[in-house]
Structure 1
Amino acid sequence: MKTLGLIGDTSWVSTIDYYRFINQGINDKFGGVNAARLLLHSFNYADIVKNLDTNNWEAILKMIVGAGTGLKNSGAEAIVFCGNTTHLVAAEAQQQIGLPIIHIAEAAAAAIKKQGIKTIALLGTRFTMEHHFFSDKLQTAGIAVLTPDKADRDFIHETLLREMGKGIFKPDTKAAYLRIIDKLKQQGAECVILGCTEIPLLIQPADTDMMLFDTAAIHSAVAVEFALA
């Protein structure tokens, strides 16, 4: 079994899920008291948000490369970012760290393509929805991408950072997300990518008739496959 290096607290809320999903995946395979071989570097989320607010991706890349290099030196054989947004610098980080980074968008694209879906709605931070690091992977797989309008993108971004990133999940926020999903359905979306790893804690399959793709769960499953390959 390979050792995975997790880069977490982007935010801690979803990092918990990654730790649970990956360990559960290994235990499902081997049973008993078996668990994954994991190393974790957990950031102070405030440092991440400060740089997101100022669009300082150079600083974020430096943080991630430092964390990834430390994990590599401790024995990690691949890196898993416990979130979507930081994949904006995944290509540069992989080159500088010198280890494979298991890419969340590639994992999501493969899962969606397997279902034969052609058009998806993408929800996430402003960076995930507006930059191309996620949508390009989907489009390469032949999947068209719809995103909310600017006002809705701003609302989603702010609630992810200021509420869900702190473990706060409000009924009014949930209702607003469901309205946004319904608008995207009317525009032709066949399913929804919950492209920030906190969103599945707010929106559950029972809340909508749209198929939901939980990127944290999908990404973790691919990480388990890598560890066992």
Structure 2
Amino acid sequence: MKTIGIVGGIAWPSSLFFYKAINEYFKDRTQSNGLHTPNLILAQTNFALIEEAQSEGNWDDVGRLLAGEAANLKAAGADLFLLACNTLYTADEYIIKHSELPMLHIVDATANKVVQRGYKTVGLLGSRYTITGAYFADRLKKKNNLKVLVADGVHARNVHNALYQELAKNIFLPETRTKFKAAMEALVARGAEIVVLGCTEFGMLVK
């Protein structure tokens, strides 16, 4: 059995979700009695350092921090790894170049689901870094021939601010859920056939 490495703490609420989801998926796929579990190793980052580098646009510094955690996972016996965060795949090129472990890419996993369901136009909610950067939207467009619509205006600001001021701190408020609903409805009104919640905490918020 392969050992999966998880770079977590980015932020910690999403790490809980990934840990739970992988264990539930393993149980369903193996039809185990619930006592057998997958081999997982979790490396916890200091999210404050990550966000400082993000906010300054120093994505190589972000990549360096995450590649360091990948090295820790390899030393602990992981065969592959993933980031328990969408936004930080912005540094994917640096991480892949400086890591000896294969990295599972969250955008490719997302695209597979979208394509399997036959959708062509994707609405994307994400942090400011996600919706203004190329790593997510361009990868969906170029590798999968999908049309991508991103949140804009007040919806983009609401989503980004909620992520860093509330969700990353494990704060989930009904009024914030209402703002996310409005953001998703705006994407649908523009033609989105499906909405990608480009941050793990978003799914935790909107259920």
| Pairwise same-fold verdict (TM > 0.5) | yes
User: Is it true that 1:111 corresponds to 2:113 in the alignment?
Assistant: yes
CA distance in 1: counterparts of 2:31 and 2:178, whole angstroms: 40
What is the number of residues matched between the two proteins? 204
Q: 1:86 aligns with which of 72, 85, 88?
A: 88
Which residue identity does 1:101 align to in structure 2?
M
User: Is it true that 1:160 corresponds to 2:160 in the alignment?
Assistant: no
CA distance in 1: counterparts of 2:172 and 2:26, whole angstroms: 30
CA distance in 1: counterparts of 2:23 and 2:78, whole angstroms: 16
User: Is it true that 1:179 corresponds to 2:182 in the alignment?
Assistant: yes
- Superposed CA offset, 1:46-87 (max 9, x none): 222222222221221111111101111221111110010111
User: Is contact 1:24-1:35 (8 Å) kept?
Assistant: no
User: Which region of structure 1 is more displaced relative to structure 2, 111-120 or 130-139?
Assistant: 130-139
CA distance in 1: counterparts of 2:69 and 2:151, whole angstroms: 33
How many Å apart are 1:154 and its aligned residue? 2.3
How many Å apart are 1:179 and its aligned residue? 1.1
Which structure is higher in RCO with an 8 Å CA cutoff and minimum separation 6? 1
1:190 matched residue in structure 2: 193
User: Is contact 2:158-2:179 (8 Å) kept?
Assistant: no
Q: Secondary structure at the match of 1:198?
A: helix
User: Is contact 1:40-1:71 (8 Å) kept?
Assistant: yes
CA distance in 2: counterparts of 1:42 and 1:79, whole angstroms: 13
User: Is contact 1:84-1:197 (8 Å) kept?
Assistant: yes
How many Å apart are 1:173 and its aligned residue? 1.3
User: Is contact 2:155-2:182 (8 Å) kept?
Assistant: no
**Percent of pairs identical after alignment?**
31
Give runs of aligned pairs for residues 85-164 of structure 1, distance below 5 A.
85-139=87-141, 140-164=143-167
Q: How much is the aligned-residue C-alpha RMSD, in angstroms? A: 1.2
CA distance in 2: counterparts of 1:120 and 1:201, whole angstroms: 20
How many Å apart are 1:200 and its aligned residue? 0.7
How many Å apart are 1:30 and its aligned residue? 4.5
Q: Secondary structure at the match of 2:37?
A: coil
User: Is contact 2:126-2:197 (8 Å) kept?
Assistant: yes
User: Is it true that 1:18 corresponds to 2:18 in the alignment?
Assistant: yes
* Runs of 5+ consecutive residues of structure 1 not aligned to the other structure: 205-229
CA distance in 2: counterparts of 1:91 and 1:36, whole angstroms: 28
2:32 matched residue in structure 1: 31
Normalised by the length of structure 1, the TM-score is 0.85
User: Is contact 1:120-1:145 (8 Å) kept?
Assistant: yes
CA distance in 2: counterparts of 1:94 and 1:72, whole angstroms: 13
Give runs of aligned pairs for residues 46-85 of structure 1, distance below 5 A.
46-85=48-87
CA distance in 1: counterparts of 2:187 and 2:3, whole angstroms: 39
CA distance in 1: counterparts of 2:58 and 2:162, whole angstroms: 20
CA distance in 1: counterparts of 2:92 and 2:200, whole angstroms: 16
How many Å apart are 1:142 and its aligned residue? 1.8
CA distance in 1: counterparts of 2:200 and 2:82, whole angstroms: 13
Normalised by the length of structure 2, the TM-score is 0.94
* Runs of 5+ consecutive residues of structure 2 not aligned to the other structure: none
CA distance in 2: counterparts of 1:110 and 1:14, whole angstroms: 21
